[in-house]
Amino acid sequence: MSAADLLARQRAAFAAAPRPDAAARRAALAALARAIRAHEAALIAAVDQDFGGRPAAETQALELVPLYAQIAHARRHLARWMRRRVAGSPFLWPARAFWEYQPLGVVGVIGAWNYPILLTLGPAVEALAAGNRVVLKPSELAPRTAEALAALVSGAFPPEQLATVTGGVDVARDFSAQPWDHLVFTGSTRVGREVMAAAARNLTPVTLELGGKSPAILHESADLPRSVARLMTGKLYNAGQTCVAPDYALVPPGRIAAFEAEAARAVARLYPKGLGADYTRIVSDGHLTRLRDLVADAGRRGARVVELAPVPPGANGRIMPPTLVIDPDPDSPLMREEIFGPVLPVVPAETLDAALAFVNARPRPLALYYFDDDRGRQDEVLARTMSGGVTLNDTIFHLAQLNLPFGGVGDSGMGAYHGLDGFAQFSKKRPVMVQARWAGTALVRPPWGARGRLVGTLLAAARRLAGAGR
């Protein structure tokens, strides 16, 4: 069934039942959790095949555990999120006012290939919690996972509630051109612009979770062994194919040699048996070639390239070794494009001011990481930078905080989801005023005459409350 057919079918179903209660929404989320549980083995195997090698534990830890946690969080907080909130204004007393979250209707979700389970089903969790119907378009770059997700969904839900469309780029373009009530896209900034342009023709609101070059700043005082171990762990999850992976590190020049040594030790601890079964492969030959070309170009421009672990002799699969690129040309493709792989440029930054200037001269990133125990400097970094999210003294894990929104800013995206923010994103926060039988507003309408003096009294009171005085 096409995206257009599913949209029409779900829109008709939504019109017939536009406000599902909390019990129905919890039941839908529980059904999703049970379906994921029943298909866990198939999903893990599909991801492994799509990547040509990804450890089952990595898929479990980085996709399934967060997804179950997201579902549990939504089910636990749903009744509070749905509660009407009083929002009366004293100047309109005795009228009552409140606001409530109303489902938008039908939400389209275009998933990503790098975390094809979490980034496809994750937005659906809060869209379902908000009372919507949902159509999914998994990434065509992870085709086996797309088919596994389609089997999961079709076995657990009627197509009027949750459905999947699979196919290539043409299907994805058609999907983004449909008049959804909301559209979610996770992927590159380049494709995000295309999705937004297609959605604009229907005035479809969008949530764009894009990427960018997320910096990691190490202060002169940072605990280097601890900081580098955490930085390299975040960089090498999924072989760096993570939208919030640290894209480059800003390091005081005098600490670069020590940074390099700690990075090598960190890789040796993470992969004591070498780059074998515990190390994720690059998703395609094209992506692997691109990464190698970025590193080679940086080397030709004068950067020093350091491979932190050898590719095993005769190894099968698309292995890109953990690689540092020391002092790259700031204008090189490596420093202009999102890397999306296990390559970490290390950029000298004499001072914190220099590091912040370097970050602020570039598009706003999806994530920012700062390593320093000093609270004052932490606050200074927060005040002087803008990014989608921040983790201090670690990387990536702000995404697992379900009470915090996940989303970008500027080139790294717009909108956010996770927890209440996701519930609100896929809802209309609808204001309602209930006028009283005897309304004070009857005193502020023509003919003005004596009522004009009452308006003057109200104006004087409003001035005083606003701090405008007389």
Query: What would the pLDDT profile of 318-376 be if each residue is shown by its tens digit?
Result: 999 999 999 999 999 999 999 999 999 999 999 999 999 999 999 999 999 999 999 99
d(CA 339, CA 291): 7
Task: Looking at the structure, tell me whether residues 425 and 390 fall in a common domain.
Answer: no
Residue 314: pLDDT above 80? Answer: no
Which residue from 215, 202, 183, 11 is spatially nearest to 111, judged by alpha carbons? 183
Of 63, 243, 260, 262, the catalytic one is 243
**% of the chain surpassing 90 pLDDT:** 87
Query: What would the pLDDT profile of 383-424 be if each residue is shown by its tens digit?
Result: 999 999 999 999 999 999 999 999 999 999 999 999 999 999
Task: Looking at the structure, tell me whether residues 192 and 255 fall in a common domain.
Answer: no
The domain of 444 spans 439-466
Domain containing 25 — which CATH number? Answer: 3.40.605.10
Q: Is residue 360 part of a domain?
A: yes
Task: Looking at the structure, tell me whether residues 253 and 117 fall in a common domain.
Answer: no
Q: How many domains does the chain have?
A: 3
Task: Looking at the structure, tell me whether residues 314 and 452 fall in a common domain.
Answer: no
Query: In sequence order, which residues have a C-beta less than 8 Å from that of residue 101 and are 6 or more positions away?
Result: 81, 82, 130, 423, 424, 427, 428, 429, 430
Residue 455: pLDDT above 80? Answer: yes
Q: Is residue 345 part of a domain?
A: yes
How much is the pLDDT for 21? 96
Tokens of 158: 């009627």
Q: Is residue 22 part of a domain?
A: yes
How much is the pLDDT for 443? 77
Of 58, 63, 209, 262, the catalytic one is 209
Matching residue, tokens 């379906």: 35
pLDDT band at 470 (very low <50, low <70, confident <90, very high): low
Task: Looking at the structure, tell me whether residues 392 and 422 fall in a common domain.
Answer: no
3-state helix/strand/coil string of 342-409: CEEEEEECCCHHHHHHHHHCCCCCCEEEEECCCHHHHHHHHHHCCCCEEEECCCCHHHHCCCCCECCC
Taking residues 44-73, report their average pLDDT: 97
Query: What would the pLDDT profile of 422-445 be if each residue is shown by its tens digit?
Result: 999 999 999 999 988 888 777 788
Residue 195: pLDDT above 80? Answer: yes
Task: Looking at the structure, tell me whether residues 37 and 74 fall in a common domain.
Answer: yes
Taking residues 154-178, report their average pLDDT: 96
Based on the residue annotation, tell me whether 243 is a catalytic residue of this protein.
yes
Task: Looking at the structure, tell me whether residues 32 and 155 fall in a common domain.
Answer: yes
Based on the residue annotation, tell me whether 209 is a catalytic residue of this protein.
yes
Matching residue, tokens 């749905």: 82
From its phi and psi, is residue 329 left (phi > 0), alpha (psi between -120 and 50) or beta?
A: beta
Distances (CA, A) of 141 to 114, 283, 396: 9, 8, 23
- Angle subtended at Cα 213 by Cα 210 and Cα 214, rounded to the nearest 5 degrees: 95
Task: Looking at the structure, tell me whether residues 306 and 362 fall in a common domain.
Answer: yes
How much is the pLDDT for 89? 84
Task: Looking at the structure, tell me whether residues 277 and 155 fall in a common domain.
Answer: no
How much is the pLDDT for 308? 97
d(CA 307, CA 17): 58
- Residue 252 sits at φ, ψ, to 5 deg, of -55, 135
Q: Is residue 434 part of a domain?
A: no
Residue 431 CB: number of other CB atoms within 10 A?
Answer: 10
Summary mean pLDDT of the chain = 95
CA diameter of the chain: 94
Task: Looking at the structure, tell me whether residues 449 and 424 fall in a common domain.
Answer: no
Task: Looking at the structure, tell me whether residues 140 and 171 fall in a common domain.
Answer: yes
Tokens of 71: 């579902």
- Residue 20 near residue 82, CB atoms below 8 Å: no
Task: Looking at the structure, tell me whether residues 33 and 62 fall in a common domain.
Answer: yes
